[in-house]
Amino acid sequence: MIAAEVIRSCLPDLDAAEYDRPLVETAIDSFALLELRLRLEQALNLTIDDVDWVALDTIAALTAYIEGRTGNNAGTNTSATPGGVTAGRSCLLNMPQMALGGLSESWLFKQLGDLHWEMICTGLGGRSHELVDGKGDRLYATFTRLRVESSHPMTAYGENETLEINGGLSRFGPGIYFNQTEGACRDKEISATIMSSFAKRGSLTDNTTLLKGQPAIPPGCAIPELAEMPQFGLDYRDRRTQMVPPCLFESTYDIIPCHDINGVGLLYFAAYPSISDICEIRYIGRGNRWAAQASTLSRDICYFANCDMEDSILYRVHAHRDGPGRVEIESSLTRRSDGRMMAYLVTTKGLIDG
């Protein structure tokens, strides 16, 4: 648990037997307590109210308070019951969660992906690096479709507001997983639908040879199984085979490994919208002003393939529709090396400055 690790790192000389001892009777000074509070708030992404802090008179009471606020799983309240697997987080929007004066879409994608992956691990009863197929080969969760819709542009989410997100997981067979997550932030709402499968490496050095795989389903698995493929998955299947409209604009993107490649060496699913945004600025032709003039309302990404970090990506615009106070752009990302389409995106942005 993160809270326990923070307490031990801040108070390495404090014996566990003293956790129930009143703080005024311990050797912990006021600065050490201040540091402890700050580090707990940073690590767990929460704010401890002054009234609550004063009332916490022992380390044991502090630990119980943190567990009550966050659950026992690194700030996420994840549960697996006969009724299903669910997870929720309370996220304080500070600078790491923000961009361009509002909610960072990149951060949001990472949070949604992490919540989805955590529910899968909880439901399958293993940590992420422990998930393997029948041959013992390491499996990676691969996002196949992610749709995010917000009632307000991302710039409307303000500093120090709290975003509450809650999701539930289901599966179609042993290999395809669906997650519906809802978010609330004052008068604003976010809805996200996610579909993922599993892949394993055909080569340790080639991201273009990923192979499909699936984990073993443990007895009594809490993830409910769907009788039929949801429409969200059927639409994805149709998109894979549809001809894309003619190209209206094309630009090349060179991968930035330290930004775009994830911890297992693959092009990160959360980098796809960022790549699209960078190239979209070139398409619109207003320079970086466009990033401040248009803010995401919705984004629907169908993922088809990955890419090596030495490769480059072709961004193409296929449709552009202007509406009252908004613009919708259909675009694709394609590997330059072999012409394989990696993703198709439908993005709607609200116009902030006319």
- Which tokens go with 206? 């080639």
Q: What is the spatial distance between Cα 25 and Cα 346, in angstroms, rounded to a whole number?
A: 60
Q: What is the spatial distance between Cα 346 and Cα 335, in angstroms, rounded to a whole number?
A: 19
Reference 309, options 338, 280, 268; nearest CA is: 268
10-residue block means of pLDDT along the chain (354 residues)?
Answer: 73 80 82 78 76 82 76 59 84 92 95 94 89 88 95 96 94 93 96 94 78 88 92 94 95 96 93 97 91 96 95 98 96 97 98 76
On whether the pTM is more than 0.85, the answer is no
pLDDT at 2: 65
Domain 76-227 grouped into CATH 3.40.710.10? no
Q: Is 124 exposed, middle or buried (0-12, 13-18, 19+ CB in 10 A)?
A: buried
pLDDT at 118: 92
Residue written as token pair 């995010």: 148
Fold exhibited by the domain 243-354: Thiol Ester Dehydrase; Chain A (3.10.129)
Q: What is the spatial distance between Cα 190 and Cα 108, in angstroms, rounded to a whole number?
A: 10
pLDDT at 75: 55
| CA torsion, ordered 343, 348, 353, 354, to nearest 10 deg | 120
Handedness of CA 201, 207, 213, 219 (dihedral sign): positive
pLDDT at 255: 97
Q: Which helix (H) or strand (E) holds 10?
A: helix 2-10
Domain range summary for the chain, segments of one domain joined by +: 2-70, 76-227, 243-354
Is there a shared CATH topology between the 2-70 domain and the 76-227 domain?
A: no
Class of the domain covering 2-70: mainly alpha
pLDDT at 95: 93
Q: How many residues make up the chain in this entry?
A: 354
